[in-house]
Amino acid sequence: MTTVATPRQSIRFHGRSYHAMVLSPEPPLADWLAGLDAWLARSPGFFFGRPVVLDLAVLQPGKQGVAELLQNLAERNIKVMGIEGAEPSWLDFAMPPLLLSGRQANSIPGDHPPAAAEASAPALSSDPAPDAAAAPTSAEAASLPAAAAPEAPPAQHPNSLLLDSPVRSGQCIVHPEGDVIVIGSVASGAEVIAGGSIHIYGTLRGRAVAGSRDSRARIFCRKLEAELLSIDGLYMVAEDMPAHLRGQPIQVWLEGDSMVMAQD
Amino acid sequence: MAKVLVVTSGKGGVGKTTSTAALGAALASAGKNVVLIDFDVGLRNLDLVMGAERRVVYDLINVVQGDAKLAQALIRDKRVPTLSLLPASQTRDKDALSDEGVSRVIAELKEKFDWVICDSPAGIERGATLAMRHADVAIVVTNPEVSSVRDSDRIIGLLDSKTERAEKGERVEKHLLLTRFDAVRAGRGEMLNVEDVLEILSIPLLGIIPESSEVLRASNLGSPITLNNPASAAARAYFDAAKRLNGEALDMTIPSDRKGLFGKLFGRRAA
């Protein structure tokens, strides 16, 4: 993942991992594009500024098809940074490069391609099976490229998810790639799962599962009434929380193998 | 412009049907053309509460499946001529409701009435989602207790995602109707108080219906409380809620049946 050039060389190379969305078109293409349009109508700007990788393993479009597909995506303002699962012969020099990072191109079935793609996003990383990150396992944090070389800090994921309405009972918000910010309360029976930290500007009555990719993640809320708090696989149920902190504005973080909770 | 209103709650037994009947009668007495639809197929109750159980010939399922015309199934109320009822079927189950059929029936009713009020069954399954599907306005009926509040929260989430309006990116107007409220017990902390419920659900309050024995008596007589005993505290609360639905801005009060000192003495002696 991270290669460090020897100090005497004048040109230095770094390997660095980025998170990208993988779009995986499915045949028939017209239907898939219609689905994409419907998605974009609901969340315009969803792809704005996000690196997108195209996985052609399912579609198998051929040389002509690739050119048309790229044209179609360009019309929707989706910039493709790389292509996976394609034959080298389909691509010409002007097209985005073929990515062969040692991974099998994974196809993503499902009704909502972008959503599904988001859940299994990182395409440029050579981490083993980052797709499992949606589940908050403690192994995830270890797969970060941390501190292998002084020049390469852990990859930062600036894409946070901001929700400006309360999270209702029964709803589950999953955002494996960054922080979740909720302006409002999280109801009893609701669940927020984030790869990074969770910030709740309201009462937290449900569950908050933070740091499925980052043991430094924290949970903040204005008023603690939570059913369960978890960071990087460690968890605490309501019964274990200090009684004097209930109803208080708090933050929670990890120190070694224990969860620490303090009033803000 | 007709409005489709769904009365829903998630939890059972909180007063959806009672509130549907009382609000419908209050709106109709104010001169609006109102139709009440019972979506609780298999467990119909609205006909009993409305006192129309002996006049049911055709029902919602017959109309949805095209076996009867809408005009044949509608039952006009004998007390308020602008109030009609479309009863549910007691012998079928909710799978007999089709999405297209319900859409057609509601579209047809919207042409004839000012308010189309859908009485949702409890739960979050097919019957409840079909009842809320076409709603423009939703009334979430909640009792001041934690389980009811949590179920209402779940329903609000569904109103924001599973309705036709939500799918078009619009919002369903949502109102909270707090029923069976007892100010004395809430003050003692035995019940959630109004602020707690509003803080958890964060939707605007339409009305607070006080706990009252008059409500049960009216239901058993087959008459909405707003017709049976319009002077009672619960009926006055429903009349206020109906006015707020029509866009009037009223101060929020909790009507009570509490009598003066003489009334109390007298009442006690009589009892």
Residue pLDDT, tens place only, B158-178: 999 999 999 999 999 999 999
Our measurement of the distance from residue A10's CA atom to the centroid of its chain's CA atoms, rounded to an integer in Å, reads 35
Cα distance between residue A178 and residue A196, in whole Å:
5
- Output the pTM of the full model: 0.66
Which amino acid, one-letter code, is at B184?
V
Is A44 within a domain? yes
Query: Under an 8 A CB cutoff, do B169 and A42 touch?
Result: yes
Query: Under an 8 A CB cutoff, do B153 and A184 touch?
Result: no
CB contact at 8 A, A27 and A58 = yes
pLDDT at B82: 96
Query: Under an 8 A CB cutoff, do B200 and A185 touch?
Result: yes
pLDDT at B59: 93
CA dihedral angle for residue A85, residue A86, residue A92, residue A94, rounded to 10 degrees: -30
Collect all residues of chain B within an 8 Å Cβ-Cβ radius of residue A205: 200
Is A145 within a domain? no
**Residue from the list B151, B154, B202 with its beta carbon closest to the beta carbon of A184:** B202
Cα distance between residue A234 and residue A209, in whole Å:
9
Collect all residues of chain A within an 8 Å Cβ-Cβ radius of residue B154: 168-170, 189
Query: Under an 8 A CB cutoff, do B153 and A203 touch?
Result: no
pLDDT single digits (tens) B130-162: 999 999 999 999 999 999 999 999 999 999 999
Is A25 within a domain? yes
> How many Cβ atoms from other residues are within 10 Å of residue B70's Cβ?
17
Which H or E run includes A83? strand A80-84
A80 and A173 co-located in one domain: no
Could you tell me how many CB contacts below 8 A there are between chain A and chain B? 37
Smallest Cα distance from B154 to chain A, Å: 5
Q: Report the number of distinct structural domains present in chain A.
A: 2
Smallest Cα distance from A188 to chain B, Å: 7
Q: Which two tokens stand for residue B77?
A: 């109320």
Residue, of B265 and B146, whose pLDDT is higher: B146
Is A123 within a domain? no
pLDDT at A51: 78
Residue of A42, A165, A168 to mutate when probing chain B, most B C-beta within 10 A: A168
A167 and A256 co-located in one domain: yes
Cα distance between residue A172 and residue A176, in whole Å:
12
Label residues A185-197 b or e (16+ Cβ within 10 Å = b): bbbbbbbbbbbbb
Collect all residues of chain A within an 8 Å Cβ-Cβ radius of residue B153: 168-170, 187-190
Cα distance between residue B256 and residue B212, in whole Å:
9
Query: Under an 8 A CB cutoff, do B202 and A185 touch?
Result: yes
Q: Please report the residues numbered 8 through 67 in chain B whose beta carbons come closer than 8 angstroms to any beta carbon of chain A.
A: none
Collect all residues of chain A within an 8 Å Cβ-Cβ radius of residue B198: none
Q: Out of A60, A90, A120, pick the residue that ends a domain.
A: A90
Which amino acid, one-letter code, is at B222?
G
Is A67 within a domain? yes
Is A128 within a domain? no
The pLDDT-based confidence of A251 (bands split at 50, 70, 90) is very high
Does residue B150 belong to the interface with chain A, where contact is any CB pair within 8 Å? yes
Residue, of B94 and A16, whose pLDDT is higher: B94
Q: Out of A37, A58, A90, pick the residue that ends a domain.
A: A90
Give the mean pLDDT of chain A. Answer: 75
Smallest Cα distance from B19 to chain A, Å: 24
Query: Under an 8 A CB cutoff, do A169 and B160 touch?
Result: no
Query: Under an 8 A CB cutoff, do B157 and A165 touch?
Result: no
Q: Which domain CATH number covers A216?
A: 2.160.20.70
pLDDT at A154: 52
Q: Which residue in chain A has the smallest CA separation from B152?
A: A169
Residue of B152, B167, B171, B200 to mutate when probing chain A, most A C-beta within 10 A: B200
A166 and A255 co-located in one domain: yes
A261 has which bridge partners?
A252
The pLDDT-based confidence of A130 (bands split at 50, 70, 90) is very low
Q: Out of A36, A56, A90, pick the residue that ends a domain.
A: A90
Does residue B162 belong to the interface with chain A, where contact is any CB pair within 8 Å? no
pLDDT single digits (tens) B185-238: 998 989 999 999 999 999 999 999 999 999 999 999 999 999 999 999 999 999
Residue, of B163 and A125, whose pLDDT is higher: B163
**Residue from the list A165, A169, A184 with its beta carbon closest to the beta carbon of B150:** A169
pLDDT at A72: 85
**Residue from the list A170, A184, A188 with its beta carbon closest to the beta carbon of B157:** A170
Range B37-50 average pLDDT: 94
Do you know the residue count of chain A? 264
From the number of C-beta atoms within 10 Å of its C-beta (0-12, 13-18, 19+), residue B243 rates as: middle
Q: Range of A42's domain?
A: 21-90
A164 and A254 co-located in one domain: yes
**Angle in degrees, CA A154, A155, A157, rounded to 5:** 130
pLDDT at B259: 57
The pLDDT-based confidence of A75 (bands split at 50, 70, 90) is confident
**Angle in degrees, CA A60, A66, A71, rounded to 5:** 140
pLDDT at B188: 92
Query: Under an 8 A CB cutoff, do B156 and A168 touch?
Result: yes
pLDDT at A81: 84
The pLDDT-based confidence of B260 (bands split at 50, 70, 90) is low
A169 and A247 co-located in one domain: yes
Is A204 within a domain? yes
Cα distance between residue A225 and residue A228, in whole Å:
9
Q: Which domain CATH number covers A74?
A: 3.30.70.260
Q: Which residue in chain A has the smallest CA separation from B159?
A: A168
Considering only CA atoms, which of A185, A227, A225 is closest in space to residue B153? A185
Is A96 within a domain? no
Q: What beta strand segments (E) does B28-163 contain?
A: 34-38, 75-76, 83-86, 115-119, 137-142
